[in-house]
Amino acid sequence: MIDALKAEAERIGFDFCGVASAGLAPEADFFKRWIEAGCHAGMEWMAREVERRTDPAQILPGAKAVVIVGMNCYQVQPVRRGRVAMYALGRDYHELLLPMLEDLAGWLARLGGVQRCYVDTGPILEKNLARLSGVGWQGKNTLLIHPQGGCWFMLGCVLTTLELEIMAPVRDHCGSCQRCMSACPTRAIVEPYHLDARRCLAYYSIEHKGAIPVEFREAMGDRVYGCDECLAACPWNRFAQQTRHAGLAALELPDLREMLYWGKEDFNRLFRHSPVKRLKLSRWKRNIAVALGNIGTGEDVLALEHAAAEGDELVTEHAEWALLQIRKRLGNMLSSRPASG
């Protein structure tokens, strides 16, 4: 049965497949303490339904197993100003994974039982379940590490009431390595296997709705969506292969400076099928302003002044900060002038 399940998952397009028990998560107590300590930052949705998050059977009554599948998202980063997290370079993985999960659930349904699919769209601890399913282990950066592909995967889950053979977990192979911890620009991995989102650049550039704390702005560097440092540092990524999923191919983006002149229609048109769309225009310009504050030149001043004058308080604050940073770098004699490139 397991071999047939894996073959079907591969036929559909998944890069790996495993099966975990739908019982209470072994990490339940740690997750509850993590929430109580406030390490989820402003992601209040994580603090809701904690009991359901740690017990899949509460989500699907009678659930016996959870099928975990993964999609490889690794590709060479485009050469341009402004880094976007690997998983978000192309089409929104929710749009790609969910129909594939539904296909797999349909195959399981022909064997009987009831199924429910999730792509981090419900109260599921996907990474913990993936660890239990035998497809990899949860590294010190808290992410799944696949022994043949490293960290560059998106996960999907199918809860089922079918009695499936449970696969054995993979042994943790991190050993004494702490490269992911050392690579984090803000030391958000406060100890092995423990990430504090209140220090995480991925959190501030994606989930956080307000101003990015000044103390973290320089650490943002040229990042405009997410942060991959703790993933990229993992030595297991030496086995990573180019993704075979054409939908994940990186979108072509204008230069950061040009996007500061955008209106909502411009943003929505380019990012309508991208994870970036969740930011909306204001936070996108916020992130661009911070990036230009770190890497911008005199040619970016006019665009930043335009953004600062548009009337969006969030954008204005970050554009003014960026202008100050550029002027510090280039000297106070810098004046506004039309961009030459």
How do residues 49-93 score in pLDDT, each as one tens digit?
888 888 998 999 999 999 999 999 999 999 999 999 999 999 999
Expressed as residue numbers, the domain containing 75 is: 1-249
Same domain, 150 and 217: yes
Burial of 339 (0-12, 13-18, 19+ CB in 10 A): middle
Of 129, 174, 136, 182, nearest to 156 by C-alpha is: 129
Same domain, 200 and 282: no
DSSP 81: S
**Distance (Å, whole) CA 9 – CA 69:** 8
* C-beta separation of 309 from 289 below 8 A: no
The segments of the chain whose pLDDT lies below 70 read 332-341
Burial of 256 (0-12, 13-18, 19+ CB in 10 A): buried
Looking up tokens 């990490």, which residue turns up?
Answer: 27
**pLDDT above 90 coverage of the chain, percent:** 87
Q: For 195, phi and psi rounded to 5 degrees?
A: -105, 135
Same domain, 245 and 275: no
Same domain, 220 and 280: no
* C-beta separation of 61 from 144 below 8 A: no
Of 202, 127, 199, 136, nearest to 157 by C-alpha is: 127
H or E segment and range at residue 317:
helix 313-330
Q: Which of 228, 249, 270 is the endpoint of a domain? A: 249
Q: Report how many domains make up the chain.
A: 2
| 194 CB-near residues (< 8 Å, 6+ apart) | 34, 39, 142
DSSP 150: B
**Distance (Å, whole) CA 230 – CA 227:** 8
Q: Which of 249, 270, 291 is the endpoint of a domain? A: 249
* C-beta separation of 236 from 150 below 8 A: yes
Same domain, 185 and 290: no
**pLDDT above 70 coverage of the chain, percent:** 97
What CA–CA distances, in Å, run from 141 to 127, 228, 231, 233, 238?
Answer: 11, 11, 7, 10, 17
Same domain, 27 and 118: yes
Amino acid at 111: L
Active-site residue, from 55, 103, 120, 255? 120
Q: Which of 249, 279, 308 is the endpoint of a domain? A: 249
Q: Supply the pLDDT for residue 24.
A: 83
Q: Supply the pLDDT for residue 90.
A: 97
Q: Supply the pLDDT for residue 332.
A: 53
> Mind listing the pLDDT tens digit for each residue in 259-293?
999 999 999 999 999 999 999 999 999 999 999 99
Amino acid at 306: H
Handedness of CA 270, 272, 273, 276 (dihedral sign): positive
Same domain, 242 and 305: no
Radius of gyration of the chain (CA): 22
Same domain, 20 and 48: yes
Burial of 110 (0-12, 13-18, 19+ CB in 10 A): exposed
Q: Is 312 known to be catalytic?
A: no
Same domain, 244 and 263: no
Same domain, 245 and 276: no
Same domain, 109 and 244: yes
* C-beta separation of 39 from 91 below 8 A: no
**Distance (Å, whole) CA 50 – CA 30:** 11
Written in H, E and C, the secondary structure of 154-196 is EEEEEEECCCCCCCCCCCCCCCCCCHHHHHCCCCCEEECCEEC
Same domain, 14 and 122: yes
H or E segment and range at residue 292:
helix 280-295
